[in-house]
Structure 1
């Protein structure tokens, strides 16, 4: 059954190649666009929470966030109650590109799932949620 995992990996790699090529012109290649999307959709996550949400090791996530801060897509703020935490927010540049990022993500999702009925999509979601990773 390892073919299933290989298929999931192939879908993931093809999707990453397309999105990285699409957003390279914005300086959001190497999956950096994911950080902007997640932060826009859930502002104020602390750095570790964001790393966990994109399922990237924290060191890599922290470096990527810093690059996005330096390039004006994200901003960091110290937590008001716990000074050890830094919270991540989308900066103006990130807000400006979010609609394009979201539209591309939606189109990719719609295309990928277009051959499945609504019931099949729900079943796929249910089955994937049972996988431990």
Structure 2
């Protein structure tokens, strides 16, 4: 069973390596592109929600968001009701690069699952959901 986890890790590392090379030219290496994608698709998340959606610790998420704010891809806004909460939004610069990020993500997904039937894809989705802890 351990080989399955190693295979999943290997797939993840290959995608990350390719994406980091691809998006370094935008200043989005080190998986920073994932933040832009998630925030674009769910604008207004607070930092904890973003960290949870990426399955990373909040300190790492905050540090990465700060860098993306400094580079102009994301912006933070205080919550209207609770000033302790900062919500994350994509800037115009982030919106401009999103189609390239999404196309890459889509192409990777299609390439990885191209030999699976629709039934196998559905089964894989269910099985992977059981692995998340």
Common fold by TM > 0.5: yes
Which residue of structure 2 aligns with residue 63 of structure 1?
A: 63
Alignment RMSD? 0.6
SS of 2:94's equivalent?
helix
Whole-angstrom CA distance in 2 between matches of 1:132 and 1:49: 16
SS of 1:43's equivalent?
coil
- For normalisation by structure 1, the TM-score amounts to 0.98
Residue 47 (structure 1) aligned with residue 27 (structure 2)? no
Which residue of structure 1 aligns with residue 27 of structure 2?
A: 27
Which residue of structure 2 aligns with residue 107 of structure 1?
A: 107
Spell out structure 1 runs of 4+ moving beyond 2 A: none
The runs of 5 or more residues in structure 1 that have no matched partner are none
Whole-angstrom CA distance in 2 between matches of 1:83 and 1:58: 18
Whole-angstrom CA distance in 1 between matches of 2:3 and 2:67: 36
Deviation string, structure 1 residues 40-98 (Cα, Å, up to 9, x no partner): 00000001110111111100100000000000000000000000000000001000000
Whole-angstrom CA distance in 2 between matches of 1:131 and 1:9: 13
Deviation string, structure 1 residues 11-65 (Cα, Å, up to 9, x no partner): 0000100111100010001000000000000000001110111111100100000
- For normalisation by structure 2, the TM-score amounts to 0.98
